Structure 1
Amino acid sequence: MISSSGIPAVVPAGRMAALDQPVLGLPSGLELRPWRMSDAEVLVAGGRDPAVRHWNRLLVATPEEARQRIARMHERWRAEVSAIWAIARPGEEAVGLIGWGDIDLGGGSAEVVYWLLPSARGAGVTVEATRRVSEWALHDLGLHRLRLCHSVSNPASCRVAEKAGFSLEGTMRSALLHADGWHDEHLHALVRGDI
């Protein structure tokens, strides 16, 4: 498809919606899979975790709200605006979330989002998952540029970005409102050809 500017879309509209969301394996033996309605309690647990709430602004108070959010995840895949996976052990409930929000197929870009429950932190899972969804986005879906943004007060996310191969491009001043006020954010990016 050609845009009104005469520049062809990086990824044609409809390409993502035509795909079933894949299950992606990780070297650790974990997998990235679509969220299931049976994962609702995991979203509630994420919404109760202080770190997840603070850095991700996740507010899911009840299983019903979680099921509605999971349904929206599937709708947003079909609408080609986000691709969200559960991080899980095969055959078990999720331990976290990773994916792409703010997908712009025409412009070829997206922004990574992620969180882990405390039981899964500290083992490099977020780095593995970020690398894997980045490979999928760049090589399978066909995006060109991926970004990872985080508060400058969140050094753990800075380490994830660096270990996953994202280059630090700069600091966006007063870029995101958290419960404790406005935060400057680091902008990291990965482009096709980096991996």
Structure 2
Amino acid sequence: MALISPFLPPGTINNVPQPVLTAKTLSLRPWTAGDTPVVFAAHKDPAIALWHRRRIEGLEESQAVIAQWAGQWEKESGASWAVCDGKGLVVGRAALSRINLFEGDGEVGYWTLPTARGRGIASQAVTALREWAFDAVGLKRLQLTHSTRNKASCRIAAKTGFAFEGIKRSALRHEDGWHDMHLHAAVSATPSG
């Protein structure tokens, strides 16, 4: 017999359609097939490929990735949003991966297109995602990891309330070799179950 019950029950996430989230000047919406060219172009960017370890070779693969993101919602293992500016143009991605309802945690990830960097977009998107994960879903803990070489992600983590917890040595292999990873986390103030 289990000594603890799941922190959140199955169906906590996928019992409703994936919502549109709002930030100060942005909206975060589910990806659509019409976003295929944007996802393809984003993954051609060297910085996105460096920190996210993936290149997409064509529009067909881009469509498959978008379908995979939608499938994660259904499985309650992840959630991915297109980050859009005030005109509705996609400027980035915000996502939760490794969602574990039993433990009540997940991992935040994001990227911004080259033309959108330096405008606070990632910080706004991560804040909206954190608020949704804690307030609407009820997760207890979110973590954010990034290469120790990625100074911009370290600044975003600090701006969005993810406290530095330590360094994971040789934790992730990128195209240029093994990277030490900073571990940041945010914990909900809501009483735990």
Short-chain TM bin: over 0.9
1:12 maps to which of 9, 13, 18: 9
Residue 89 of structure 1 is matched in structure 2 by: 85
| Alpha-carbon distance in structure 1 between the residues aligned to 2:54 and 2:108 | 15
**Does residue 146 of the first structure (1) align with residue 133 of the second (2)?**
no
- Residue correspondence of structure 1 range 61-140 to structure 2 within 5 A: 61-89=57-85, 92-140=88-136
The code of the aligned residue for 1:17 comes to N
Residue 170 of structure 2 is matched in structure 1 by: 174
2:24 maps to which of 5, 23, 27: 27
Deviation at 1:25?
Answer: 1.1
Deviation at 1:90?
Answer: 5.2
Residue 154 of structure 2 is matched in structure 1 by: 158
Deviation at 1:91?
Answer: 6.0
Q: How many residues align?
A: 190
1:42 maps to which of 19, 23, 38: 38
| Alpha-carbon distance in structure 1 between the residues aligned to 2:78 and 2:163 | 22
Specify every segment of 5 or more residues in structure 2 that has no aligned partner in the other structure, as ranges: none
| Alpha-carbon distance in structure 2 between the residues aligned to 1:122 and 1:165 | 19
The code of the aligned residue for 1:145 comes to R
Residues 93-142 of structure 1: CA distance to partner in whole angstroms, max 9, x if unpaired?
42111010000011000000100101111011101111110010011101
Deviation at 1:21?
Answer: 0.6
SS in 2 for 1:139: helix
SS in 2 for 1:98: strand
The code of the aligned residue for 1:21 comes to Q
TM-score with structure 2 setting the length:
0.95
**Does the 8 A contact of 1:148 with 1:189 survive in 2?**
yes
- List structure 1 segments (4+ residues) > 6 angstroms apart after TM superposition: none
Specify every segment of 5 or more residues in structure 1 that has no aligned partner in the other structure, as ranges: none
The code of the aligned residue for 2:62 comes to A
| Alpha-carbon distance in structure 2 between the residues aligned to 1:27 and 1:154 | 25
**Does the 8 A contact of 1:42 with 1:93 survive in 2?**
no
The code of the aligned residue for 2:188 comes to R
SS in 2 for 1:18: coil
Identity over the aligned pairs, expressed in percent? Answer: 43
Deviation at 1:75?
Answer: 0.9
| Alpha-carbon distance in structure 2 between the residues aligned to 1:61 and 1:88 | 24
